[in-house]
């Protein structure tokens, strides 16, 4: 995707979340944008916020997906020690 499409997607998801802050799919997609742009620290912050708000923790499949994305951001930034925690 081109940069301006990411920027437009970020604006759209921001508007969606302003109208409905608990819309999980929009939160996830908003975290995906910096991940795809290789802005892993920003993506991780967004995924961690989403994970903290996801009920069920380890037993929730969506929470596991988010946790895996957090893990991937650490590995992609060569933060292996942090990823092992």
pLDDT recorded at residue 1: 46
pLDDT band at 82 (very low <50, low <70, confident <90, very high): low
4-53 tens-digit pLDDT: 899 999 999 999 999 999 999 999 999 999 999 999 999 999 999 999 99
Give the pLDDT confidence of 47-81 residue by residue, as tens digits. Answer: 999 999 988 877 889 999 999 999 999 999 988 77
The contacts found for 65-72 with CB under 8 angstroms, 24 or more apart, are 66/28, 69/31, 69/35, 69/43, 70/44, 72/35
pTM of the entire predicted model:
0.85
What is the Cα gyration radius of the chain? 13
Check which CATH number belongs to the domain holding 45 and give it.
1.25.40.10
Range of the domain at 45: 3-84
Cβ(31)–Cβ(14) below 8 Å: no
Distance CA(73)–CA(64), nearest Å, equals 14
- What's the number of domains the chain is made of? 1
């Amino acid at each position: 995707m081109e940069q301006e499409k990411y920027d437009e997607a970020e604006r759209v998801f921001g508007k969606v979340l302003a109208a409905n802050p608990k819309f999980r799919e929009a939160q996830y997609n908003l975290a995906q944008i910096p991940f795809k742009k290789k802005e892993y620290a920003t993506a991780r912050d967004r995924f961690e916020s989403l994970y903290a708000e996801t009920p069920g923790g380890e037993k929730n499949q969506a929470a596991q997906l988010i946790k895996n994305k957090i893990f991937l951001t650490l590995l992609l930034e060569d933060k292996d020690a942090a990823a092992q925690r």
